[in-house]
Amino acid sequence: MDHDATLPPGLSARARGATSNAAGRFEAHAVAYDADGAGPDAEERVLRTHVTQERAGRVITYNRSPDLPFDRSINPYRGCEHGCVYCFARPSHAWLGLSPGLDFETRLIARPDAPDRLEAELRARSYRVAAIAIGTNTDPYQPVERQFAITRACLEVLSRFNHPVAVVTKGTLIERDIDLLSEMAARGLAKVGISVTTLDAGLARRLEPRAPAPARRLETVRRLRAAGVPVRLMVSPVIPALTDHEIEAILEAGHEAGAEAASWIMLRLPREVSDLFREWLAVHYPDRAGRVMNRLREMHGGRDYSADWHHRMRGEGVHARMIARRFDLAARRLGLDRSQAALRCDLFEVPLARGAQLALF
């Protein structure tokens, strides 16, 4: 089974996170890019982003994970052009017959009917309200949102239903929707998490090649807070021996920008992400690749990653405890260890359907 899919010399994957495109775990054959004219975009010799569309069956995904603070989520897009090499969502592309590598960040799928499906699901008599998370798998404010505006349309639906929502993003495009989010926040219905992995712009460009620069994300925190939107700074992921020394500095920058709370998650390398991240280390940080992976394996019982409940987000062992202790101390000193106010569920109300006439009494 040939799963080797490195790019040929004549085809450039400029500003991409993954360095290869190995076939997904369900595929018997790899798809090769041809720099001589047979492959996608070969005439430009640059690997471009392509977007297809799909009709959503259901858009609210439910989970029973004890590690997550929510039990339902929405993802308007499959794949993510931000190209974060460490993204734990990459393996989901294998279910589509695509590679978790370069395909994940160049072969995107938009779900333009997601807002209509969301409304239908919220109108179901069996529906019971609880906060919906948006952006838990792929970023809802990645660049393609500028074209499709699916995330905004979903927020408009949630606003009409007085439904609580928590948004997680690296994308500064969220500022476009400050009007909606601030109005929902005033009703206790919205909060946002902004992820910052590093303050080093050069490292960020290699780790997250098409995501906004760290300083720009902190400016987004300022603008959201100025509009009255609760913001949690997410130090995520923490990469041992690469970004862990920045924990205190990131928290201080988030505090200065106005974040009211903070959280952290250790780097996770499920399935294909492990190979992709080790390839990335070999290309960009060969001098410390062994140290980074050894630290991770110490935290996961000798493996690159362990998916055990209650441990997969933080790891175990002395180094994991030391990182947790440093974060806790810095967050407490800055007042970022507080819990955010719970989003309101008591305002939920199914509005009159469009075009429906008022009932006569």
Q: What is the pLDDT of residue 66?
A: 80
Q: How many whole angstroms separate alpha carbon 211 and alpha carbon 220?
A: 13
The answer on pLDDT for 32 being more than 90 is no
Q: Give the per-residue pLDDT at 126.
A: 96
Beta-carbon neighbour count of residue 278 at 10 Å? 15
Is the pLDDT higher at 343 or at 37?
343
User: Considering the chain, what is the average pLDDT of its residues?
Assistant: 89
Residue 1: the pLDDT is: 32
Q: Looking at residue 357, what is its pLDDT?
A: 56
Calpha distance 5→289 (Å, rounded): 22
**pLDDT (tens digit, 9 = 90+) per residue, 248-260?**
999 999 999 999 9
**CA separation, residue 124 to residues 121, 150, 166 (Å):** 5, 21, 21
**What are the chain's domains?**
50-258 (3.20.20.70)
- pLDDT of the residue at 134: 97
Q: Among 38-42, 105-109, 192-196, 334-338, whose mean pLDDT is lowest? A: 38-42
- If you average pLDDT over each of 45-59, 90-104, 159-173, 293-307, which comes out highest? 159-173
Query: In the chain, what percentage of residues exceed pLDDT 70?
Result: 88
Ranking 158-162, 192-196, 272-276 by mean pLDDT, the lowest is: 272-276
Look up residue 6 and give its two tokens: 């490195």
Query: Average pLDDT of 5-30?
Result: 69
Residue 38, pLDDT above cutoff 70: no
3-state secondary structure the chain: CCCCCCCCCCCECCCCCCCCCCCCCCCCCCCCCCCCCCCCCCCCCECCCEEEECCCCCCCEECCCCCCCCCEEECCEECCCCCCCCCCCHHHHHHHCCCCCHHHHHEEEECCCHHHHHHHHHHCCCCCCCCEEECCCCCCCCCCHHHHCHHHHHHHHHHHCCCCEEEEECCHHHHHHHHHHHHHHHCCCEEEEEECCCCCHHHHHHHCCCCCCHHHHHHHHHHHHHCCCCEEEEEEEECCCCCHHHHHHHHHHHHHHCCCEEEEEECCCCCHHHHHHHHHHHHHCCCCHHHHHHHHHHHCCCCCCCCCCCCCCCCCCHHHHHHHHHHHHHHHHHCCCCCCCCCCCCCCCCCCCCCCCCCCC
Mean pLDDT of 280-300: 95
